[in-house]
Amino acid sequence: MLIQWNQDLSVRNENLDKEHQKWITILNNFYDGLMMSKSKEKLEGLVQEMLDYTNYHFASEEAFMRSINYPDLADHQEKHAFYIDKLTGFQEKIKEGKLILSLEVTNFLKTWLINHIKGVDQQYANFVDGK
């Protein structure tokens, strides 16, 4: 297991916390597949699942931020776009055979996710708490 959900990752919103937990599960499944030397096709499927869910979650999170009139929405969207671009780039390189999935890729995904939830996502949680 790469990431264990805990209360430090909570944004104090039940739906978004559940989405973050699902995202962590998908990332853990990807990591497990990598560690068990799954086939390239299986790993491509896990990357696609991660990308699909990331798009779903970001749309959900951004809709929530619009609903609370979150003032830093545009900056948050830029961070989301960076992650999607990075993940899409990994996916394209995997399909072209130019990227061997490694712990370096997995660590990027893990580090970005944890830093994003604990840092950037906490900002909108604090904004809600301050209202």
Residue 34 belongs to a domain: no
Number of helical H runs and strand E runs in the chain = 5, 0
CATH, residue 110: 1.20.120.50
Closest to 118 (Cα-Cα) out of 1, 24, 15: 24
Contact 124, 65 (CB under 8 A): yes
Instruction: Check residue 91 and give its pLDDT.
Output: 83
Instruction: Check residue 33 and give its pLDDT.
Output: 80
Residues 28-83 have pLDDT tens digits of 988 888 788 766 777 778 788 889 999 999 999 999 999 999 999 999 999 999 99
Residue 88 belongs to a domain: yes
The CA–CA distances, whole Å, from 56 to 23, 28, 41, 50, 62 equal 10, 18, 22, 10, 10
Residues 73-113 have pLDDT tens digits of 999 999 999 999 998 988 888 788 776 666 777 888 899 99
Domain count, the chain: 1
Instruction: Check residue 76 and give its pLDDT.
Output: 97
Residue 65 belongs to a domain: yes
CA distance 131 to 118: 20
Residue 7 belongs to a domain: no
Domain that holds residue 86: 39-130
CA distance 127 to 79: 18
Residue 83 belongs to a domain: yes
Per-residue confidence band for 128, with pLDDT thresholds at 50, 70 and 90:
very high
Residue 29 belongs to a domain: no
Residue 16 belongs to a domain: no
- Output the pTM of the full model: 0.89
Residue 23 belongs to a domain: no
